[in-house]
Amino acid sequence: MMILIFPPVAKPCEPPAGVALLSAALKEQGIGCCVVDANVEGLMYLIHSVKEPIDSWSQRALKNRDKIIGDLKDPALYKNMDRYHQRVYDLNKLLSISVDSKRFRITLSDYSDNKLSSVNSKDLLKSAEIYHENPFYPYFEKELKPQISSMDSEFIGISLCYLNQALVSFALAGWIKDNFKDKKLVMGGGLISSWMSRPDFDDPFKDLIDVMIKGEGEQPLLELMGKKNIEKRHYVPDYDFIKQDLYLSPGKILPFRATIGCYWSKCRFCPEKAETRPYSSQRATKVLDDVKNMAKAYQPDVIHFIDNAVTPAFMKTLSQEDSGFKWYGFVRFEKEFLSASFCRDLKKNGCEMLKLGLESGDQGVLDQMNKGTDLDMVSATLKNLHGAGILTFVYLLFGTSFEDEKAAFKTLEFVEAHKDYINYLNMAVFNLPKFSDDALDLDTQEFYHGDLSLYLNFNHPHGWDRRKVKNFLDKTFKKRAFSNGKIKRNPAFFSSNHAMFF
């Protein structure tokens, strides 16, 4: 028997896929497994723990708390972005005042502690030592302890995927060690894999965490439980654990991973290039059968494909029959989108939104990035998707070593020329992966001070530093790109996870 815990803080709008896949692998081999989404449980616990308002805003939010939560699950709310944002900010206000705001900053998508750093191993171990100071400690005691106590399990696994979860994950680990001394702790997930991929990683957590797992955890967990030589890598996620009434979305959204890794895997800016993660896929028809089996078992309203990029082969399969569900996911700009009829078939068979990594509107920058993207193809793709009624959520990346101010303005000009075909924009400022090949050729400095930091700052070869990039985005890009209201505001905190509902 194994207990798997997904800790706070991540967006509480859909269940976590990683632990669902681990649970499926364990159960397939006859091993009992219980999954706890402590993220959504913990966040809702804090929201409901607020008893006294501190100002007129929180007084209004507290009075309407149940209605706010209900509205966020009602599709009608998503017809009005302003009303939606009022509800989201009101709920976030309650969450923010549920903790000591002088020390902790907590939102519906973020968490930080002004005394401890998420990228310093000593601070993470300190978080484990002083777990009783963590804002989620009351949740651990009142809600999580009875669940763990009721299960006869030798191992407890913690899935640490995001930096926002790090300090809470280690507080949770320290609490488990003190309260369940007979349990062995296992920790894995995306962030753990990134830390363990550092060439200088020397496991500073060995006295706290019994087993740390790098990469996909299915096979290592099975071996830990005595099941050797299981080479299967693809599973249908097990969502038996979800408590749907908790998730803040207008319907049941279930994540599904069709592939492992990225089929392109050549972009020079991508942090995953510094990690060893071999690409793995299955026949598109087999993947669709798996998705249908999941849909039959759990009746989702929407399936969120969480692949690095959905493959063209799988998209073709999705376009050819009505699967009975709506879906969205991340894709590359591929030649298939040059067919308007293909885009219409995608829409007809459930595609509501596609997330597309454009990164730059300058062809020279794209070529240096090794992005494999042609701007003429991008233009045609955006027009065809818009014509088919598929929402586009376009990602841009500013401040890479390949870009200068002139190239950034070319990106702005490209966006302005395609305002009618872009529904949402995500604008990010580049962080240089610490152990990437490009870092060797640049004059770098620490981005975050901590032995587990994964990124570097650098002196830009063209003088296009972060301060100038941020000033350009705030004072020029946003004003011009959003001037006519064609491109929508991103949903606060939930961003692309809620975007398709508007």
Question: What CATH number corresponds to the domain at position 401?
Answer: 3.80.30.20
Are 130 and 211 found together in one domain?
yes
Cis amide prior to 378 (ω within 30 degrees): no
Question: Which residue among 176, 207, 224 closes a domain?
Answer: 224
Residue 163 within any structural domain of the chain: yes
- Tell me, what's the pLDDT at 477? 97
Are 200 and 317 found together in one domain?
no
- Tell me, what's the pLDDT at 277? 65
Q: pTM for the full model?
A: 0.95
- Tell me, what's the pLDDT at 275? 56
Are 218 and 272 found together in one domain?
no
Are 215 and 258 found together in one domain?
no
Q: Measured between alpha carbons, how far is 106 from 104 in angstroms, rounded to an integer? A: 6
Domain limits for position 164: 2-50+98-224
pLDDT digits (tens, 9 = 90+) for 260-318: 999 988 888 887 755 556 899 999 999 999 999 999 999 999 999 999 999 999 999 99
Residue 6 within any structural domain of the chain: yes
Contacts of 76 (CB under 8 A, 6+ apart): none
Are 128 and 163 found together in one domain?
yes
Q: Measured between alpha carbons, how far is 250 from 13 in angstroms, rounded to an integer? A: 9
The answer to whether residues 333 and 373 touch, using CB atoms and an 8 Å cutoff, is: yes
Are 128 and 13 found together in one domain?
yes
Residue 245 within any structural domain of the chain: no
Are 337 and 436 found together in one domain?
yes
Are 122 and 213 found together in one domain?
yes
- Tell me, what's the pLDDT at 274? 54
Residue-by-residue pLDDT tens, the chain, 502 positions? 999 999 999 999 999 999 999 999 999 999 999 999 999 999 999 999 999 999 999 999 999 999 999 999 999 999 999 999 999 999 999 999 999 999 999 999 999 999 999 999 999 999 999 999 999 999 999 999 999 999 999 999 999 999 999 999 999 999 999 999 999 999 999 999 999 999 999 999 999 999 999 999 999 999 999 999 999 999 999 999 998 689 999 999 999 999 999 998 888 888 775 555 689 999 999 999 999 999 999 999 999 999 999 999 999 999 998 888 999 999 999 999 999 999 999 999 999 999 999 999 999 999 999 999 999 999 999 999 999 999 999 999 999 999 999 999 999 999 999 999 999 999 999 999 988 888 888 999 888 889 999 999 999 999 999 999 999 999 999 999 999 889 999 999 999 999 999 9
Are 261 and 396 found together in one domain?
yes
Residue 59 within any structural domain of the chain: no
DSSP 338: G
Question: What CATH number corresponds to the domain at position 140?
Answer: 3.40.50
> How distant, in Å, are the alpha carbons of 260, 401, 416 from that of 234?
8, 37, 41
Which residues sit opposite 185 in a β-bridge? 156
Are 204 and 255 found together in one domain?
no
Residue 85 within any structural domain of the chain: no
> How distant, in Å, are the alpha carbons of 315, 337, 477 from that of 311?
6, 12, 32
The answer to whether residues 451 and 120 touch, using CB atoms and an 8 Å cutoff, is: yes
The structure tokens listed for 384 are 């065809």
Domain tally, the chain: 2
- Tell me, what's the pLDDT at 273? 59
